[in-house]
Every structure is written in structure tokens, then in C-alpha cells.
Structure 1
Amino acid sequence: MTTGADKLPETSMRLLEIFAAMMGQRTTVATAESLGISQPAVSAGLRQLETQLGLTLFERTGRHLEPTLEARSLYEEIRPLFGIVRSFGMRARDLRNGRVGRLRVISTPPPGYSLIPQAMRGFLDTRPDVTVSFDVRRLGNVLSAVQTGQADVGVGLTNGRLPNVTSEDLRTGQMVALLPHDHPLARDATVKVGALTHERFIGIDQESHLGRMVAQAFEDAGVTYHPQLETRYCQTAASLAANGMGVCIVDPWSAHPYLAEHAGGQRLVGRPLAQPCPIHCMMFTRRGIPHSGLLKIFMAEIRRASASLDYPGLERPESALSPET
């Protein structure tokens, strides 16, 4: 049975903090200044600690309080504790400021090969202790990864908000026709899909969201959709067009690297479709889950990078929708 004399004192962390500061400062005034509290609070804390421990911790010598042998012995016991507390505080500060941690990012190919690298560059350059896992997949995989928590944030192209995720419209654009720079249609500001019926057309796989959009654009115009070449991704179609394989309709993000001022092969120009064929670049997060400080900072980088893009077919950034609440 534990007696009253054997019972361990219930000492608060605040009292130990006052004690540790006093060991370094040796005056109650200096200790109070270092802790940001009043001098009477320091004196009262020391008296309370001595009462709890049943020990004399400091003896006055002139204007200073000298620690007793018992105080020195106890201080050696708690010094590692304050190292842990300092590390805890520094870790919390780094987490708050987004300096440490891990992010899982997923995107569909168009923004994944253009927007996300630009956002990551500014984000990681000043955060050497942050790691990012990044994957590029189809839209269905992006949404699934965000919904199930396998990814912290996703970015993809779609034509509107999607259920079961929190979505934010980053930029809105119009699908564009990629044409050789000397093509007759390149002189026009916009291109009608009907004008492409006699061209060797590179289509997008209709199992993909963008592929269905392109096919629907032809159907809405009452024009037969019959691509001679078909590929899964807009980037591939743009690459084929840059190599003289035909013309294609792709999103602005996929078209940009193949335009005349960027492409290393055949120079292409991008002309928005004359008929409405809008496409939204959207950012997705898991519904109902609070964002970490690190995620908030990276999402802000994505917004900045998206607003800075100046591609044919993109609307001005201020026309983007506000975040969904």
C-alpha cells in the first residue's frame, strides 16, 4: 500500500517550465521575461513546486537564487524532456507552415504534364523535407483515388462538377483544333468541325471523357465523325499531328506544347472550335475531410500556376468559378 509520503507529486508541465527557466536565469525577473509572465507568477510557481516536491530548490545569495544540490539533480532528469518539447514545437511549426510531410497528388494527363509540374516546382523548391507522390491516370481513377483517400488532391478535365468530391473550377477553356501553320483554316480565328470532314482526322478514344466530347461536337453539328487514326490521350493525338499525321481536336493544355513557338517538329497552330465545346480544369479533394496545412499551401500553388497559364482556348482566370463550399 502506498503511503502519503511515498505518493508521487502531481507536477504540471508549467511548473517544470518555470523551474527549468529559473535554472538558467537565476532571477525571478529574468525568468518572468523569458517566459512572458509576471514576476509574482514565477515566485508563486516555484513555491508551489517546492511544496509539491517537499524540497528546497533555490536559496537566495545576494540578488540571485542559487539552485540546491537537489535542484541540480532534478534538472538533469528533466533536461531531455525539454528537448523533446522543443522538438515537438518545431515540428508543429513546420507542419503549420507546410515545411514537412508527404502529399499524394493525382491528375489526368493534360494538367498532369503541364499545370502540376509548374505548381510543384515552386512548392518543392523551398520545402526540402516535403515529399510528393504523383501519378497520372484517367479521370475515373483520379476521382476514385480522391474519394477513397488514396490521394490528397486530384486535378482533371471535365465539363462540370462531379458528385462525391469537393470540386473547384481552376480554369475554363474551349476545345481547340490543332492544324499545320500553313493550313487554310489556320487563318481563321475559330474552326467549325464541319470544315474538318475532308481532313485526315486523329480522334480520341471514346472511352475517355474528352474523346466523347469530341465525338459529341461532331454529332451536334450534324457531321459524320470518322477518325482515320484514334488514340487514347490528347497528348498522343497532338504529337501525331505535329508529325504530319493529320489534324485533331484536343484540350488547350494538351495543345500548348505543340504550338509553333514550342514544337520541335512541324509547327502547329491552335484554333478554338466555333461551336461551344467547353472544358473545365478542376481540382478535387475528399468531401468532408479537413485539409492539412501542407495541402492548403499546395492547392494555393496549383491555383497560382493555373491562373498564370496563357494558352489558346483558355478563358481569362478571373472567369473561373469560386470554390465549392
Structure 2
Amino acid sequence: MNLRQIEILRAIIRYNTTVAAARALGLSQPAVSNAIKTMEDQAGFALFQRVNNRIYPTAEAKILAEDAEAIFEMHDRFVGRIRDLRDSRAGHLRLVATPPLGYGVVAAAIRDTQALRPKIRTYFDVRRYEGVIASVETHHAELGFVLGFSPQPGLSAETLFEGSMVCVMHPGHPLAGQAAIAPADLGRHRFIALERGTKLGEATRDAFAQAGEPFEFTSEVRYGNTACVLAEAGAGVAIVDPLTAATNRFQLAVRAFLPETPVAASVVWAENRALSRLSWFFLDRVRDVVRHVPLRASPSGAAAAYKHPE
């Protein structure tokens, strides 16, 4: 007995007449009657008793119909899953990002996605640039988010944001009164550098070289978030990407850094792996977050509670 025949058996038991069952199923009455005959031939026993133009299920038919309910419940769940996947309401996301994007833009996009699609599961990791690329290449993550992506074979990419590095400091810092900060300005103050060998660390060092200024620092950190924490604590001035400065709840003055040092945020995925509908849905949320990031510099002015250590 196939699924369609079981569906007809179920409808006849529910409606008690072949005419009503046929109407509910969108079939003709003769088609339903023929289905009954076929089912009884296959089963080898009667499924219905006929009394005064009405049919009544036998005890055996009722047993089969009761057992069939589990099949229809499973089928309904299956259809629901298809609908959820079609509408990006179910499934899972595997994401990886470098800290500047992972702790800000991507985290906010995960929040927005889960608010709209509460049934999905998200697997999220934060790694260094090389780790993000490796995770995407080996299919451990479907989407990777990085700053300063360099095109390479086997990977597709989309630029999500383009901007310039900024200077961050405690609002009471002496440099907070300037609209823009140059390497020459930083020589007189404690400077928090991004780690040598990282893309942003090397970009900062190139900017100092371009300005003809020595690159001297009092603290060196791996990530922009760490630099912001130190700057907020009054430990110095840092140069970070604008997304880190704008998407975290730091109490910082944010000023332009000159010479202008470009930085771009990208999403990458494996060329040999088609993105799921849910991944495209998530990317739309990321674009929304980036579109609304407040990138303007904070107002100038000193904070009374700040005691400058220099």
C-alpha cells in the first residue's frame, strides 16, 4: 500500500462516504472506489463494510489507519522542514571571523538573524586571518569574515565595507581636541600598536614610514579590541579599523588618522561550495548592520574624570 492509498483509506474513515472522501482529496468518486478495491486486493482482506450506501471501516482498517497516523505526522514535519528551509527559517550557519568583525558586525548580524529566524542554529568561531581562510577552504565554515582580504584561487569574496583606519583615545586625552591625528602627533604620547605581521599592524607601520616618522610604541597588541580597551583605560592612543571603533561600546574619542590608511572588510566562501539560502539571508543581515554603522568621529572635549598619565 503506497502513501496515496493510505491517504485515501484515512479520508474514507474520516468522512464515511466515498463521495466526501473524493471531494476532500480532489479525486473522482469512481477513483476512490477503485482505490478501495485495489487496497483490499493487496491486503487480502476487506477494509470496509457497505451498508445502505455508506461504508464503515473494519477493525483491520482501523488498526491500519491508526498506525498510519505516525506516517502522516512524519510527512507533515517533512513538509514543514522544506517550507522552513525555503524561507530560511531553519537549518544551521557555520561562521568564522577575525576579531574586528567577529566581535562587532558579525555578532550583531547573528543577533538579528536569530530574532527573525529563531529555529536556526549558529556555529561561530573567532580566529586570526589565516585561521578564517583555512576554515573556509576546508569547509569547516561556510562564510568567513576578514579585513584586508587578498584574492586567492578557490575563494570567492564580496567587499562589505571600505574605509580608513582611525585613531582612538580616552575622551580626555590631549589629542582628542584635534580633528585628525598624524604620526608626528603620536610621537609625544603613549602609543598602542597592533602586532607586527598582522595586516593592520603592517598597514600602520607603512603609514608611519610614508610620513617619515619612527614607529615607536609603549604597548603592542594583537587585536583592535584589545587596543581599544587599553585606550579607554587611558593607557595610550591606538590606531584601529573603523568598524572596531564604531561597533563596540567603548567610551572613546575617535579621530581621523593621516595619512589615510585604507581598510576593507570582506566575506569569503569556497568557490566549489554553493551557499545555502540561509547563508544568503545572513549576508543580507550583515549588509544591514554595516550600512547602519555610525562611522563619524566622536565629539571633541575632555572628560573631567580622566587623569592623563603622560
Query: Contact conserved, 2:193 with 2:239, CA < 8 A, in 1?
Result: yes
SS in 1 for 2:272: coil
The one of 146, 163, 167 equivalent to 1:173 is 163
> Deviations along 1:222-246, whole A, 9 cap, x unmatched?
3322223211111122222222222
Residue 293 of structure 1 deviates from its aligned partner by: 3.9
Cα distance between partner residues in 2 of 1:39 and 1:222 = 91
- Equivalent residue for 1:141? 131
The one of 186, 191, 211 equivalent to 1:201 is 191
Cα distance between partner residues in 1 of 2:69 and 2:29 = 23
The one of 290, 293, 312 equivalent to 2:274 is 290
Whether 1:109 and 2:99 are equivalent positions in the alignment is: yes
Cα distance between partner residues in 1 of 2:31 and 2:263 = 63
- Equivalent residue for 2:141? 151
Query: What are the residue-to-residue correspondences of 1:40-51 with 2, within 5 Å?
Result: 41-51=31-41
Whether 1:271 and 2:255 are equivalent positions in the alignment is: yes
Deviates more, 1:17-26 or 1:157-166: 157-166
Alignment gaps of 5+ in structure 1? 1-10, 314-325
SS in 2 for 1:236: helix
- Residue type of the alignment partner of 2:166: V
Query: Contact conserved, 1:160 with 1:280, CA < 8 A, in 2?
Result: no
Whether 1:248 and 2:238 are equivalent positions in the alignment is: yes
Residue 283 of structure 1 deviates from its aligned partner by: 1.8
- Equivalent residue for 2:65? 75
Residue 108 of structure 1 deviates from its aligned partner by: 0.9
> TM-score, structure 2 length as denominator?
0.81
- Equivalent residue for 1:34? 24
- Residue type of the alignment partner of 1:235: N
Query: Contact conserved, 2:104 with 2:248, CA < 8 A, in 1?
Result: no
Residue 163 of structure 1 deviates from its aligned partner by: 4.2
- Equivalent residue for 1:317? none
Query: Contact conserved, 1:252 with 1:312, CA < 8 A, in 2?
Result: no
Change (3 A) 1:107 1:24: same
Change (3 A) 1:91 1:121: same
Whether 1:280 and 2:264 are equivalent positions in the alignment is: yes
Deviates more, 1:116-125 or 1:192-201: 192-201
- Residue type of the alignment partner of 2:70: P
Residue 35 of structure 1 deviates from its aligned partner by: 3.2
> Deviations along 1:232-273, whole A, 9 cap, x unmatched?
1111222222222222210112223678xx51xxxx321233
Deviates more, 1:31-40 or 1:201-210: 31-40
Query: Contact conserved, 1:94 with 1:100, CA < 8 A, in 2?
Result: yes
The one of 279, 289, 292 equivalent to 1:305 is 289
Query: Contact conserved, 1:272 with 1:312, CA < 8 A, in 2?
Result: no
- Residue type of the alignment partner of 1:284: V
- Equivalent residue for 1:219? 209
Residue 117 of structure 1 deviates from its aligned partner by: 2.3
- Residue type of the alignment partner of 1:17: E
> TM-score, structure 1 length as denominator?
0.78
SS in 2 for 1:114: helix
Cα distance between partner residues in 2 of 1:242 and 1:232 = 17
> Deviations along 1:58-95, whole A, 9 cap, x unmatched?
34444543223443343344333223323333333344
> Deviations along 1:140-179, whole A, 9 cap, x unmatched?
1111112112223222212554543222222222110124
RMSD: 2.9
Cα distance between partner residues in 2 of 1:220 and 1:41 = 84
User: Identity of aligned pairs, percent?
Assistant: 35
Alignment gaps of 5+ in structure 2? 298-310
SS in 1 for 2:120: strand
Whether 1:164 and 2:154 are equivalent positions in the alignment is: yes
